[in-house]
Homo-oligomer: A and B are copies of this chain.
Amino acid sequence: MAIHFATGNENKIREVSNILGIPLEIARLELDEIQDVDIEKVARRKAEHAFQLLGKPVFIDDVGVYFSAWNGFPGTFSKFLQDAGGNGIILRMLSGERDRKVMARCVIAFHDGEKVHTFIGEMNGVVIEKPKGETGWGYDPIIIPTGESRTYAEMGEEEKNKISHRALALKKFKEFLNSKEPPKKI
């Protein structure tokens, strides 16, 4: 049975399908998100709401981006900062800041029909001063992950999808799903 992924974000659909490599049904739901600084709590509540509306096992994906110079802001509200002005505004806001550290946290919250399971992946990196690279979306062109010399947008999708915060969370989710598969008949 295909698992439902509740999202309206086409970029996420593509990324999650590529990384997870299992059939997905997309559920386009109007989901409430609570305002809270704890992204796992936000994700958990969103998965509960998705299951309430759909009545079938369903997962959601939520990401927070935490800038060190701003004590972690915008965190759970990062997509609204992207919507408000994108990377141009973020780079203006950070101009003159010496502390360029950033952390991105992805939470996959899966309601299996009984309860919510969460899977978390994190990426540390630095924010560069000018966008670099042509692929990707969101913060991809302005963040270089620790240990790398290129932005996600320079790497291209395939490479990003091996190391990203979302990839790490989805890897844990996939292991969980595999461990729950019914034992094969002998």
A26–B89 alpha-carbon span in the complex (Å): 40
List of B residues within 8 angstroms of A94 by Cβ: 93
Which of A35, A72, A96 lies at the interface centre, i.e. has the most chain B CB atoms within 10 A of its CB? A35
Contact A92 B84 (CB under 8 A): no
A97–B37 alpha-carbon span in the complex (Å): 27
Which of A32, A34, A84 lies at the interface centre, i.e. has the most chain B CB atoms within 10 A of its CB? A84
A84 CB → nearest B CB, Å: 4
The answer, among B33, B34, B72, B84, for a CB contact under 8 Å with A84, is: B72
The answer, among B33, B42, B71, for a CB contact under 8 Å with A89, is: B71
A40 CB → nearest B CB, Å: 15
List of B residues within 8 angstroms of A73 by Cβ: 80-81, 84-85, 89
Q: Give per-residue flags for A54-75: 1 if the beta carbon is below 8 A from chain B beta carbons, else 0.
A: 0000000000000001111111
Q: How many residues of A contact B (CB 8 A)?
A: 27
30 interchain pairs, CB-CB under 8 A? A32-B34, A34-B35, A35-B42, A35-B76, A35-B77, A35-B80, A37-B80, A37-B83, A69-B89, A69-B92, A70-B85, A70-B89, A70-B93, A71-B85, A71-B89, A72-B84, A73-B80, A73-B85, A73-B89, A74-B74, A74-B80, A75-B84, A77-B77, A77-B80, A92-B97, A93-B93, A93-B94, A95-B95, A95-B96, A96-B96
Q: Give per-residue flags for A86-111: 1 if the beta carbon is below 8 A from chain B beta carbons, else 0.
A: 00010011111100000000000000
A85 CB → nearest B CB, Å: 5
> Please, which residue of chain B has its CB at the minimum distance from the CB of A83?
B37
